[in-house]
Chains A and B, each alone.
Chain A
Amino acid sequence: MTSERTQDWVDGIVHQLIRRAAKHAPDSLADRLEEEWLADMSERRGSLARLRFGIGCCWATNVIAREHVAAAPLAATVSPTPHRYFIRMREADSPFFTGRTITFMLVVSLHLAVLYGLAIGLGPTFIRTIAGPFESREIPPAPRINPPPLPLPNIPTRIDLPTSHDMSPLEPVQRDVMTGTPNEATPSEPAVAGLPQPQPIPVRRVEGGPGVGFPSTRDFYPDASIRREEQGIATVRACVDAKGRLISEPTMIQSAGFRRLDEAAVRLATAGSGRYRASTEDGKPVDSCYSLRIRFQLRN
């Protein structure tokens, strides 16, 4: 029912268009064109086709009227070469919606869409999407996370220590020797001469790396690289938390020399999230960043 009403409504509009178009045609053609166009319009199926037909008739009227005026002075002119024809594209014969017009409209629409997208803030998202995984920028070294100095309660300071010529020079604490137990001396207890002077206890740090179950390069070796026998070592920087999970996207530090291998290395480093062995400080896992060398090597 609604479609019928729409069809009737469109037909009414098209009838009006055709009648108005025919009125603007030369007098000798006006009545004929109106009847002819109304008859041909009834052959068109669909509201849109009829609407296009009506609009086209308006266009046709302009062309016919223009040519009718232009042809009048030439009515008695006889071509000197009646058997010769030349090909010339006439403006009047160009389709109502030429390819050029449609292309122009598409280009304008595309520009408007882009401007609209930028206006509503899609620009950064769009740029991130098309930017790709690699950027030619220098990655500054991440600041080393230095844990706060261990609290050394009740440790007498240097000033409190009695000076003694017999005091032996301080021995640096070996990295592999864990004292673990700070001096329990209290200020009330006088410092004993000869005791090693308290020093901030160095933190024993063990760098992390790929842990158990870390993905293998065999699973990430690109087929194209295998076919081309591309090999190399890519260095990727990965930052993981205490549980070995990535806390940021791995970044490429040194290329393997092939784009596909670099991409595969980043994918591998990403896939290994959760299987990294976290760095430890005094045996305690901590967040840390370190470089990961990923070797892509073919075996015969």
Chain B
Amino acid sequence: MGKEGHEVRMSLQTLKVLEAFLENPADQLSGADVHQRCHLASGTLYPILIRLETAGWFVSRWEAIDPSKAGRPRRRQYRLTPMGLRRASEVFAGFNRGVLA
């Protein structure tokens, strides 16, 4: 699904999402998890997740649980790809944020 090299236009909301993932790049976060960290509305959050996944910065997969046993539906979880981690780090380094520089 990812198309490495797609230009990703940065916005403040996109930066917030990336920052949430960069806190621990190995984490897999669902949309609900990102919402708790960024407090973005669903109308803003999901287009960003889809956009970054389309660009190859994220990969997503279904949570490996049995919904009947867990008592809740499975979630779609996103994770930074190596390329996404590198690009995101470059973006924040450009802001002198020093994240994973």
A and B interact: yes
B85 CB to closest chain A CB, in angstroms?
A: 14
Interface residues of A in 233-269 (CB under 8 A from B): none
Chain B residues whose C-beta falls within 8 Å of the C-beta of A53 in the assembled complex: 42
A residues contacting B by CB (< 8 A) are 29, 32-33, 35-40, 42-44, 52-53, 55-60, 63-64, 67, 71, 74-75, 77-79, 82-83, 85-90, 92-97
Bound: A32/B13 CA distance, A? 23
B41 touches A52 (CB 8 A): yes
CB of B46 within 8 A of CB of A89, answer no
Tell whether, in the assembled complex, residue A86 and residue B44 are in contact, meaning their CB atoms are under 8 Å apart.
no
What residues of A have a CB within 8 angstroms of the CB of B19 in the complex? none
Residue from A29, A40, A64, A75 having most chain B Cβ neighbours under 10 A: A40
B residues less than 8 Å from A94 (CB atoms): 13, 44
Collect the chain B residues with CB atoms within 8 Å of residue A88's CB. Answer: 9-11
Q: Which of A40, A52, A85 is in CB contact (< 8 Å) with B32?
A: A40
Interface SS of chain B: helix
Pairwise interchain contact B41-A95, C-beta atoms closer than 8 A: yes
Give residues in B with beta carbon < 8 Å to A: 3, 5-14, 30-32, 35, 40-48, 50-51, 54, 72-76, 87, 90-91, 94
Q: Is the CB of B43 within 8 A of A55?
A: yes
> Known contacts A39-B76, A95-B40; is A29 also within 8 Å of B12 by CB?
no
How far does the Cβ of A289 sit from chain B's closest Cβ, in whole Å?
66
Nearest Cβ on chain A to B60's Cβ, whole angstroms? 9
15 residue pairs A–B, Cβ–Cβ below 8 Å: A35-B76, A38-B73, A39-B74, A40-B35, A56-B44, A57-B42, A64-B46, A77-B6, A85-B8, A88-B11, A89-B12, A93-B13, A93-B14, A95-B43, A96-B42
**Are the CB atoms of A29 and B42 closer together than 8 Å?**
no
Q: Is the CB of B41 within 8 A of A97?
A: yes
Residues of B within 8 A of A87 (CB): 10-11
Would you call A79 and B6 a contact (CB within 8 A)? Answer: yes
User: Which 3 pairs from chain A and chain B are nearest by CB?
Assistant: A59-B43, A56-B42, A56-B43
Residue pair B48, A39 in contact (C-beta under 8 Å): no
